[in-house]
Structure 1
């Protein structure tokens, strides 16, 4: 049987887990993985908070995949810029898109373009060393009050990094450039704002518990108006949501106790505090009149949540009433969306602009034989790495189903040798990556941290 040649675009968890299952099920298959950066692992390198090293354990599995005899890593090759999508189509039996989501969903409110409004995605990429975000440098030294719009896990990561004692982060793989800025931060008050109620929060119990327990900080007591919205439904809640209520109410009790003791002269309150705010939709960001780099306030419309019973969907409506928070910096954290690769339309590959993903059926791109999609570009930016793994396995099974039902072109294809003359950049092999990896870990060891990441492509390539 002629070896099946497959190209995977993207080297994050979706790409590696798809490759893992394909190599396991089709031992003579050849899998070439294309990555725009010289370094692999995607969001597990650039999207996981530096104080969550355990989440990056998945990389051990990815290393095993990369060491398989029929796997090739092709880094520093951006599809659509350094190599055309048509070239992949012509030289491989199958192509799997696993390149994730690289664009923010916007709030579309006045003032969103102001210098004091940042993308949570970009902030996370900045402190994790994404080369193109190296120069973001939010003016944390000028800000005490921060608003985060959105309340998923990324929003909580942003809040935790902003509030954490920087010395706790020094021994992590956080970028040195980011550590220097965080060390000078004046941030003392963070509001995490959701459009609906507590029960509709997008964060997980694990993340909110971790933020509540962040040393040197205090969660401000949840306001009564938010509690009144969810109280009638508590007896009917499913266990995880009921647990969330218990976590937040316990934190409320502890905070009230702290405040009472402080009022009686028994100790003082932490200087860094944060709160969960609900039933608010941003309407406008206002610039500071004294500092062009920051804001002065954020205006919100107060919402009401209509819900007949726990089984009925909740309907969020604006009341016309407004509320304003002092805000020097704001972070938008309402989700991401993918972008189509250059050359996609010419090959007939559909793209849903509204959802920001490629329409598919179990990973199969309709009307384009041999093309598949995995991960966030398939489903949208939801789910933890374990969910991505199972989804990637499902996509691999779809490829296998098409292979065994003779829907795939199984003729002999040149694969990497066919595209190599067309690549306009310096490809980075897995062996090359190991040199970069060794240099990063050596530099990190000298600083007492797991690695000191390179934050520019030129610095990465200079090692080779």
Structure 2
């Protein structure tokens, strides 16, 4: 069934529920959550949609993940704000799934629960020395410079070393490298957290290494992100000419993929231009065909990282997929650094009461329907009634913000189909307390709920402080400050 057809069915189906409106709870207020809410309310003219989030602030990765020097990407918050202000939508901030309210309780309170809480953990390399001080995940670093309250105390050491190594070459890795290398005078005009800006102003980091297992043809970043970092003033870019040599399989990849071809051309041009450049205040090194084997410990300070032990790789073709993957050669080299950032992927965390695929880092689902058993192979007879999933938790941490729009459409279409086919019939006939019931439960537990109006107080004060400093906003970056402003 097409999404548009499903949407028409959803409208017809829900039109008969006016006496008993559909009550929907969405867990997570990032792009996946807000797009799901928007699509649900458009499809169902009477449904009540509540969005809960463990943070006192909405918008998820748009607020705490998008780089501060990308303000144009954050404009989407205006759209989400209009959704939140709809009379049929309520925001419950500072409400944690698990500690404030359980999934089983939400299922009792609502006809439909959509899990859209994203990916708030990290993948691990599983190699020796990974627990050394000075090694951080890119997610932690991003939260730190974006003012996420859980990242406030990270305090990365930017002064003891002039070199940072970033493991990974995707967009998040480029974001992190750009923040380390961009002039702080430019960053000071963004909404970067005050503590991060102060630390970067004192930073000793002059060289950043971006390490990838494969070659420039397989680089995981987008052309826009690559072009932006290559355009930093007084930056000397280092790329080994030998790494740009293409194999016949590489040629085929480039021939069939315009985006990869553009990225390869940008890297080739950067290598040519850098060979003519003799000086640069800062250096960006693209290190291809290397994978981390272990981390090196400092001889002078026990427990502190001193570098990465890298294994050289070559590419081999998978006969089934025709894709190239990296394999070690048994040749090693060391890259010294006192700061290492792992940008190897975000990871979602499980929730009590439903299965979780630890290998893929997602909740097993078909079209957003949560499967009761990981081994069900997509059997729709084995789904969790009334529980759905959207966003990174549904498909893994891939795509851009707009990808969540299509992801949400599919999930709402599945809900439509399930009502039309009677899979949600018994649930829809029940009277559910929805937001009133949730409010009473949270009140009994003394949970300090932050409604959208309280977030608007935070937003207004951050904006006011920003005007004084010629910035978009000055973020409150601790739980205490956020709650203080919201509740008074």
Give the TM-score range, shorter chain: over 0.9
Q: Determine whether 1:281 maps to 2:298.
A: no
Q: Following TM superposition, by how much is the alpha carbon of 1:420 offset from its aligned partner in structure 2, in angstroms?
A: 2.1
Q: Equivalent residues in 2 for 1:208-227 (5 A)?
A: 208-220=226-238, 222-227=239-244
CA distance in 1, matches of 2:263, 2:402: 21
TM-score normalised by L of structure 1: 0.94
Q: Equivalent residues in 2 for 1:196-275 (5 A)?
A: 196-220=214-238, 222-230=239-247, 233-234=250-251, 236-259=255-278, 269-275=279-285
Give the stretch that moved more between structures: 450-459 or 399-408. Answer: 399-408
CA distance in 1, matches of 2:103, 2:249: 54
Aligned residue for 2:8?
Answer: none
Aligned residue for 1:354?
Answer: 359
Q: Equivalent residues in 2 for 1:23-172 (5 A)?
A: 23-172=41-190
Query: Which one of 454, 473, 476 corresponds to residue 432 of structure 1?
Result: 454
Q: Following TM superposition, by how much is the alpha carbon of 1:17 offset from its aligned partner in structure 2, in angstroms?
A: 0.3
User: Over the residues paired in the alignment, what is the CA RMSD in angstroms?
Assistant: 1.7
CA distance in 2, matches of 1:413, 1:369: 15
Residues 255-306 of structure 1 deviation map (CA, whole Å, 9 limit, x = unaligned):
11113xxxxxxxxx11211111111111111122334585322111111112
Structure 1 residue runs of 5 or longer lacking an equivalent are 260-268
Give the stretch that moved more between structures: 232-241 or 155-164. Answer: 232-241
SS in 2 for 1:64: helix
CA distance in 2, matches of 1:308, 1:419: 51
Q: Following TM superposition, by how much is the alpha carbon of 1:455 offset from its aligned partner in structure 2, in angstroms?
A: 0.8
Aligned residue for 1:338?
Answer: 348
CA distance in 2, matches of 1:37, 1:219: 39
Aligned residue for 1:451?
Answer: 473
Q: Following TM superposition, by how much is the alpha carbon of 1:152 offset from its aligned partner in structure 2, in angstroms?
A: 0.8
SS in 1 for 2:330: strand
CA distance 1:247–1:257, change in 2 (3 Å): same
Count of paired positions: 449
Conserved? CA contact 1:139–1:294, under 8 Å: no
Give the stretch that moved more between structures: 307-316 or 67-76. Answer: 307-316
Residues 337-362 of structure 1 deviation map (CA, whole Å, 9 limit, x = unaligned):
11112xx23xxx11111111100000
Give the stretch that moved more between structures: 191-200 or 177-186. Answer: 191-200
Structure 2 residue runs of 5 or longer lacking an equivalent are 1-16, 372-382
Aligned residue for 1:407?
Answer: 423
Q: Following TM superposition, by how much is the alpha carbon of 1:206 offset from its aligned partner in structure 2, in angstroms?
A: 0.9
